[in-house]
Amino acid sequence: MQDYLKGLNERQRDAVTSTEGPLMIVAGAGSGKTKVLTTRIAHLMAKGVDAFNILSLTFTNKAAAEMKERVEHILANREARNLYIGTFHSVFARILRAEAHRIGYPNSFTIYDTDDAKSVVKTVTQELNLDVQHYKPNAVYNRISGAKNGLVTAGEYKNDYHIQQEDMRANRPMIGHIYEAYQKRCFKNGAMDFDDLLFKFYELLKTTPEVLHKYQHKFKYIMIDEYQDTNPAQYEIIKLLAAAHENVCVVGDDAQSIYAFRGATIQNILQFQQDYTDAKVIKLEQNYRSTQSILTVANEIIKNNKGQIPKTLFTENAAGEKIRLVRTMSDNEEGKFIADAILEQKLRNHFKNKEFALLYRTNAQSRAFEESLRRHNIPYTIFGGISFYQRKEIKDFIAYLRLVVNPKDEEALKRIINYPVRGIGKTSVDRAVLAANEGNISMWEVLEAAPMFGFKAGTLQAIEEFVLMIRSFKSMLETKNAYDIAFHVGKQTGFVKELFNDKSTEGVQRYENVQELLNSIKEFTETPMSEESGEVGDKGLAAYLQQIVLLTDADQKDPDADTVKLMTIHAAKGLEFPVVFVGGLEEGLFPNAMSLNTREELEEERRLFYVAVTRAKTRLYLTYANTRYRFGQLIQSDSSRFITEIPETHIDVSFAGGGVKNQKSSSWGQGNAFERMQRGFGGNSSAPEKTAVSTLVSNNKPKEVAHTASANFVPSDPATLKEGMRVEHQKFGFGEVLKLEGSSHNPVATIKFEQNGEKKIMLNYAKLMIV
C-alpha cells in the first residue's frame, strides 16, 4: 500500500481510491474531509492522471495553496503547481480571461469589487432618476447579487411575477430596471463583478458549445470542498462541467452550511444523489481534531437543529478539559479575560501565540479584543474587516493599474483622472460621462476624442496629456511584468511623489502602504508559475490585479505568523486551532438579531456556532458580556440561547472581571449553567461568596452606562448594600460602609477604607464587592 494511504482509516481510504464516477462524502467536522480530498488528488496523480486534468475547488485561495503544497509533499515532485485549484471565483476568472471575448467582453476585463459594484449601482440609479435614499445602493446590489447567484437574468427578473410582487411590496418596483442598466454599464466598462464570474461563466458554457466541450474534456476529475456552501449558480456550472466524465467528488457537511444568506443551500447536497443516481456516498464518522469534551458539546449543540442529515461523530482522542463558559460584565472585561487567559495558557502549557484563535460573529466585535491584546502586548492578526486593499491610497494606485489594463474601466478612470491634480475638474468629468452615455461609448473613448466634445482649452490639453500617459503605460503590457509597470506608473504619474511630500503622520503611513503594495507586486512576479502558458502563471499586470481582487478575508494575512488570530466564524471555516475562544455569546449578537425571523435563520446561526466550536482541538472557551457597545449605544444583553442548550455537566462556568477572581460556580444550586449564573448575579438565591454591587464599563457615555448597568443586574438601590457591611473596592481595597445616600439612580456610599481612609463612592461607577 502506498505510504499516503497508510495513515487513513478504512472509509477515508475508500474515499481516496474510489476515483471513478460520482462520489459524495458527507461527514462531520474534523473527520478528515479536506485531508481525503488532498490525498485523493495525490492518488490520482500517482496513478498517472495529469495535473492539468484535475479541477479542485476550495473555499479560500489559501486552502488551495496548502492543498498544492501537501500534494507536492506527498508526491515529492512539483507537478501540483499545474492543478486547476482555487476558489470558484478565481478558477472561473482564470478561464474567463481566456474565453471572455466569446461573450463580448474583453479578455482583459476588470473585476469589480463590491465597492466598485455599489458605486456603479448608484450611478445608474441616479441616471434612471431614482432616489438613492430610497433605492439604497447596498440593498439594490444585494438583490442583484441574489438574482445572479440564482441565475436569474435582468430580463427574467423584470418579467417574473413573484419577484415583481416582492419588489412592489417593498415599494421598490424599479430594481429590475436598475439591474438591467447595471449589467449594461458593467459590460460597457469591460467589467464583471464577483457574481458575474459565476453568472457570465455559466452563460459562456451555455452559449458556446465548443468552450463547454473543451473544459468538459479538460477536467476529467472534479473535486469540491465545503460543498454545502455552493450556491445554485455554482451547482449548475459543476453539473455542466462534469457532464462528460461524471468523475465528480464533493465533500461537505450539512451541519456546517453557513452561507444560506448568500444563496447557498444544502439542497445541493440532497440534490446530488438525484442528479447522479449511481453516486457513491461515504460517511466519515471519526473526528481526529478535537477532544471528547469539545466534540460532545458540538454534538449537543447541533442536535437542536431539525433539518439534518443524521450522522454520528465520535473521537478516540482524550477526554480533555471541560469547556469553559465565562461571563463578564462588559465587552472590555471580556477582552481582558481573554488576554489574561492567553497569557496564562502560554505560561502553563507553553502554547505559542499562533495556537490561539479568537472567533466572533461580527467584525465589529474585534475592537474590544484588539484593545486588550494590545494592552497585554500579545501580538495578533485580524482577518477581514477593512482590508489593506480597501485603503484609499491603495485603491487609487490600483485604479491606475486597472486603467492600464482596461481603459474602459469607468470606475477606475473617475477615481484618478484628477489625482494627482491635473486640471480635469468635476464639470469636465460630468461632461465626459454624459457624452459617453449619449454616444453609447466608454468614457475613455470620449477622452480619446476629446476635441470633439467641447472641453475648455486648458482642460483639453490636460486630457490629451493624460490619454498619452495612459497609452504609454499600456504599451508596456506586452513586454514588462506587473512590478516594472507598477513602479513606472507610480513614478510617471507623480503619485508616489505626491504621497512622499506629505509629511503628516497619515501621509507617511500612506506612502509606506504604497511601498508595501509595490513590494507585494514584486513578490507576485517572483513566485513560480504554472507550466500552462498564457494563463494564471502569467506575471503580467492583469493576472496580478485578478489575484488581489479575488482574495478572500481568510487569504489576506499570513496564517503562519506567530500571532493570535482574530476572525469571524465565517472566515474560520475549515481551519483548526489548539485553543479557541468564541466571544460575544449573547442574544441579539449570536444568534444575531437579524437572523431570528424564521426557524431556518435560527438554525443557520446554530450551525455557525457548531462551526465555531468544532475549530478547537484541545481547549475551548465560550465567553459573553452583559453589556456591550453596539451601534454607539450601550446594550444590555442576556446570554445566548445556545449556551442553555449545552448540558451543564459538560461545562465549567465562571465569572471574570469586576475585581472578582475567576470563580467556579458549578455548585450553585439547581438549573442549567446559564440560569445559575444569572441567579448568582441577581443575588436573589444561593449567592456566591461575593456579590457584585457594581461593575462598570469605562466608556465615554457614563450616564447611559450608569442607567443601564443599574437597571438590571446590578442592585442599584442602597438597600442591597447596608451600612456596616464590609466591601472590597478594586482600587482602594477593603473598607466598611459608613453611610448610604443619593438617589436610586445614582446611589452614593461613604466608605472607610483600611488603607485609603474615607471616600464617597458612586455605586454605579465603582468596582465594588461585598465580602
Q: Among 15, 23, 35, 291, which residue sits at the site for ligand ATP (rule: CB under 6 A)?
A: 35
Residue whose CB is less far from ligand ATP, 70 or 510: 70
Please work out the total of residues on this chain that contact Mg ion, with binding judged by CB under 5 A: 3
Strands (DSSP E) along 612-771, which ranges? 616-630, 633-636, 651-657, 660-664, 691-694, 726-729, 733-742, 747-753, 757-762, 768-770
Say how far apart CA 404 and CA 408 lie, in whole Å: 10
Give the CB-nearest residue to ligand ATP.
32
Q: Which stretch binds Mg ion (CB under 5 A): 187-195, 293-301, 572-580, 671-679?
A: 572-580
Residue whose CB is less far from ligand ATP, 44 or 611: 611
Q: Among 4, 23, 24, 34, which residue sits at the site for ligand ATP (rule: CB under 6 A)?
A: 34
Q: Decide: is 33 part of the binding site for ligand ATP (CB under 6 A).
A: yes
Q: Decide: is 315 part of the binding site for ligand ATP (CB under 6 A).
A: no
Footprint on residues 568-627 left by ligand ATP (CB under 6 A): 574, 576, 614
Footprint on residues 270-289 left by ligand ATP (CB under 6 A): 288-289
Residue 614 Cβ vs ligand ATP, minimum distance, rounded to whole Å:
6
Residue 193 binds: one of ligand ATP, Mg ion, none (C-beta under 5 to 8 A by kind)? none
Q: Among 22, 30, 335, 735, which residue sits at the site for ligand ATP (rule: CB under 6 A)?
A: 30
The reply, when asked if residue 27 is annotated as ligand binding, is yes
Contact 496, 511 (CB under 8 A): yes
Say how far apart CA 575 and CA 723 lie, in whole Å: 55
Residue 84 Cβ vs Mg ion, minimum distance, rounded to whole Å:
19
CA atoms within 13 A on the CB side of 308: 20
Q: Decide: is 574 part of the binding site for Mg ion (CB under 5 A).
A: yes
Q: Which stretch binds ligand ATP (CB under 6 A): 24-32, 453-461, 518-526, 712-720?
A: 24-32
Say how far apart CA 353 and CA 343 lie, in whole Å: 9
Contact 52, 532 (CB under 8 A): yes
Please work out the total of residues on this chain that contact ligand ATP, with binding judged by CB under 6 A: 19
The reply, when asked if residue 28 is annotated as ligand binding, is yes
Q: Decide: is 31 part of the binding site for ligand ATP (CB under 6 A).
A: yes
Q: What type of residue is 614?
A: T
Q: Decide: is 658 part of the binding site for ligand ATP (CB under 6 A).
A: no
> Edge-to-edge, what's the strand order for the sheet holding 84-86?
84-86, 54-57, 221-224, 248-252, 23-27, 280-284
Q: Decide: is 63 part of the binding site for ligand ATP (CB under 6 A).
A: no
The reply, when asked if residue 574 is annotated as ligand binding, is no
- The residue assigned the cell 486593499 is 389
Residue whose CB is less far from Mg ion, 167 or 254: 254
List residues with catalytic annotation.
33-34, 225-226, 256, 615
Footprint on residues 370-409 left by ligand ATP (CB under 6 A): none
Residue whose CB is less far from Mg ion, 289 or 354: 289
Torsion of CA 4, 5, 8, 13, to 10 degrees: 140
Contact track, ligand ATP, 245-264, x by CB under 6 A? --------x--x--------
Q: Among 5, 9, 520, 712, which residue sits at the site for ligand ATP (rule: CB under 6 A)?
A: 9
Residue whose CB is less far from ligand ATP, 5 or 529: 5
Please provide the distance, in angstroms rounded to a whole number, between the alpha carbons at the two ends of the chain.
67
Say how far apart CA 182 and CA 176 lie, in whole Å: 10
Footprint on residues 17-56 left by Mg ion (CB under 5 A): 33-34
Residue whose CB is less far from Mg ion, 123 or 287: 287
- Element spanning 145, H or E: helix 137-149
Contact 490, 511 (CB under 8 A): no
- Burial of residue 148 (CB within 10 Å: 0-12, 13-18, 19+) is buried
Contact 263, 298 (CB under 8 A): no
Q: Among 24, 29, 294, 653, which residue sits at the site for ligand ATP (rule: CB under 6 A)?
A: 29
Helix axes of 482-492 and 457-474: crossing angle, nearest 10 degrees: 160
Q: Decide: is 62 part of the binding site for ligand ATP (CB under 6 A).
A: no
Q: Decide: is 500 part of the binding site for ligand ATP (CB under 6 A).
A: no
Contact 727, 751 (CB under 8 A): yes
The reply, when asked if residue 31 is annotated as ligand binding, is yes
Residue 25 Cβ vs ligand ATP, minimum distance, rounded to whole Å:
9
Q: Among 7, 209, 420, 439, which residue sits at the site for ligand ATP (rule: CB under 6 A)?
A: 7
Burial 354-391 (b: 16+ CB within 10 A, else e): bbbbbbbbebebbebbbebbeeeebebbbbbbebeeeb
Q: Decide: is 320 part of the binding site for ligand ATP (CB under 6 A).
A: no
Burial 431-447 (b: 16+ CB within 10 A, else e): bbbebbbeeeebbbbbb
Residue whose CB is less far from Mg ion, 230 or 547: 230
Contact 632, 619 (CB under 8 A): no
C-alpha distances out from residue 351 to 179, 348, 619, 718, Å: 51, 8, 11, 46
Quick one: cell of 686? 444561593
C-alpha distances out from residue 561 to 57, 63, 380, 693, Å: 25, 16, 9, 42
Residue whose CB is less far from ligand ATP, 582 or 766: 582
Residue 289 binds: one of ligand ATP, Mg ion, none (C-beta under 5 to 8 A by kind)? ligand ATP
- The residue assigned the cell 471616600 is 759
Residue whose CB is less far from Mg ion, 574 or 658: 574
The reply, when asked if residue 34 is annotated as ligand binding, is yes
The reply, when asked if residue 30 is annotated as ligand binding, is yes
Q: Decide: is 108 part of the binding site for Mg ion (CB under 5 A).
A: no
Residue 288 Cβ vs ligand ATP, minimum distance, rounded to whole Å:
3
Q: Which of 655, 725, 663, 665 is nearest to 695 (CA)?
A: 655
Residues that bind Mg ion (CB under 5 A): 33-34, 574
Give binding residues for ATP as ranges: 27-34
Give binding residues as ranges: 27-34
Residues that bind ligand ATP (CB under 6 A): 7-9, 12, 27, 29-35, 253, 256, 288-289, 574, 576, 614
